[in-house]
Amino acid sequence: MIILLLIFLFLFTLVMRVVKFNIISPLYIYLMFYIIALGLSVPYYYYFDDKVSLYNFDFISSAQFDLAVTYHLIAMIAFCVGVLVFYDFSSSKSRLLLNKSFAKSLFLNPNVQINILPAIHVIMFTIILFCGITYGKEIFYRNIYLVEENRTFITLFKLLSFVATLMLALVFRKHKWIALFYFTLVMLIGIGTGSRLAFVYLAVFALLIYQTSSNKAKDKLILVLNMVIALIFLSYLMTLRMLPEHGIVPYLSSVFSNSKAVGDSLVFNIYYSFIFGVFVSAKTLMENVPNWNNILVAVNPATGNMAGWYDIAKSMRLNRFAPMSANGEVFTMGKTFTFIFFTFIGAIFTYFEVQMRIFFNKKKRVIGFIIALLSILFVAMSFEYNLRSTMRYIYYITFVIIVAGYLSKFKYKIGSVKIPKLQKTDL
């Protein structure tokens, strides 16, 4: 294991030399997450006596734990190899993009020329109205997790909440208190529904506010803290489904249910965000059976019915609440396949990195930002969710790149097509 760690550190050093670091870089999001995860998991297992042990997953032998850590190190080494291989075989233009910082292209002009506050007021009113139609008083307290009625309105106000988040981040510098008030409402509604989109709202809000900053050391530190908080918040959202009562009141009170709740909640959420996934992978290695068909189903981009996912879905869970992890499913197929698979993931993420930097350099920041956000979701899902659930984010990012690249070929704006001037001709 020590040798694998040294190999990874060597390769990570090489990656840092050829790819300029940025806080929203897909490559560094992936690598830094797993560095933190393993850096916390090892001392937790060997030196932390008061184990959280969700579903009793922590109580495994040291050999089983070491095997899971070994496979994660192999995956990280292979990821770095994929980065370096893609870099070596890419064009000089792509290598130059990776070598240079794109920090200046990240930042937006916070002085929005058009007053969008009236639109924000209308959107927020609509969100509250739709929430009232669908949930009513049940947004505060209910006995079931999901409300099945009026699903169309639920989808609409969730989409409007995302739009509101974008607009609120843009006006944050000029209308801070209005933006914070409305964003708090968006987050409360998101928490009340138990939707994991609330994590997306928080991450988007933090990243866009960073993009309108002056990029000082303080701004970078605030972004890092916000991203850590967002990941911890995501783990909190994932636990809400298991509570006996649902809604804003039970969800918020679960954090402060007793005098130790704040500290216990912080410990639990750090554990759930950065440590639990290693034990899920260990349990997956113990209980999963190598099956190439399962891997083919998992990477198939077709719908669940077409791919045959529902034929194997029940067998791909460790218990009612915990699915097998994407990493564990790959690890089950052996060290050779693990190395090959994560080499491809490293190469794919490097391609995403290049495309993201191209979009930022072309001032198409929203597209670059979406690529970064979906990369974060891939990393978070791969830690604790099935491989099929994780792979969809690869396809989402690819779809965004293809569509945005195609649309960028058109030089006109909708409703404002530039007509070329006719040359004068003699009659």
Looking at residues 404-418, what average pLDDT do you find?
A: 58
Q: What is the pLDDT of residues 250-282, one digit of tens each?
A: 888 877 664 444 556 667 778 888 899 999 999
Look at residue 163 in the predicted model and tell me its pLDDT: 84
Closest by CA to 16, choosing from 103, 80, 96, is: 80
Q: What is the pLDDT of residues 186-202, one digit of tens each?
A: 999 888 888 778 888 88
Look at residue 86 in the predicted model and tell me its pLDDT: 95
Q: Which residues contact 78 (CB under 8 A, 6 or more apart)?
A: 338, 339, 340, 341, 342, 343, 345, 346
Confidence of residue 425 (pLDDT cuts 50, 70, 90): very low
Q: How far apart are CA 82 and CA 345, in angstroms?
A: 7
In whole numbers, what is the pLDDT of the chain averaged over residues? Answer: 84
Tokens of 219: 């701004």
Q: What is the pLDDT of residues 145-155, one digit of tens each?
A: 777 677 777 87
Report the 3 state secondary structure along 143-201. Answer: CCCCCCCCHHHHHHHHHHHHHHHHHHHHCCCCCHHHHHHHHHHHHHHHHHHCCCHHHHH
Q: What is the pLDDT of residues 294-351, one digit of tens each?
A: 999 999 988 888 888 888 988 999 988 889 999 999 999 999 999 999 999 999 999 9
Beta carbons of 4 and 74 less than 8 angstroms apart = yes
Is the torsion defined by CA of 206, 209, 211, 215 positive or negative?
negative
Closest by CA to 24, choosing from 357, 351, 274, is: 357
Lowest-pLDDT range of 85-89, 127-131, 191-195:
191-195
Enter the pTM of the model. Answer: 0.74
Looking at residues 138-145, what average pLDDT do you find?
A: 84
Closest by CA to 30, choosing from 69, 92, 78, 91, is: 78
Confidence of residue 76 (pLDDT cuts 50, 70, 90): very high
Closest by CA to 76, choosing from 40, 38, 44, is: 38
Closest by CA to 204, choosing from 368, 327, 92, 93, is: 368
Beta carbons of 54 and 276 less than 8 angstroms apart = yes
Residue 45 pLDDT > 50, yes or no? yes
Higher pLDDT, 219 or 72: 72
User: From its phi and psi, is residue 25 left (phi > 0), alpha (psi between -120 and 50) or beta?
Assistant: beta
Q: Which amino acid is at 256?
A: F
Look at residue 18 in the predicted model and tell me its pLDDT: 93
Beta carbons of 64 and 281 less than 8 angstroms apart = no
Look at residue 412 in the predicted model and tell me its pLDDT: 46
Q: How far apart are CA 124 and CA 182, in angstroms?
A: 7
Closest by CA to 161, choosing from 133, 132, 202, is: 202
Locate tokens 């605030």: which residue?
222
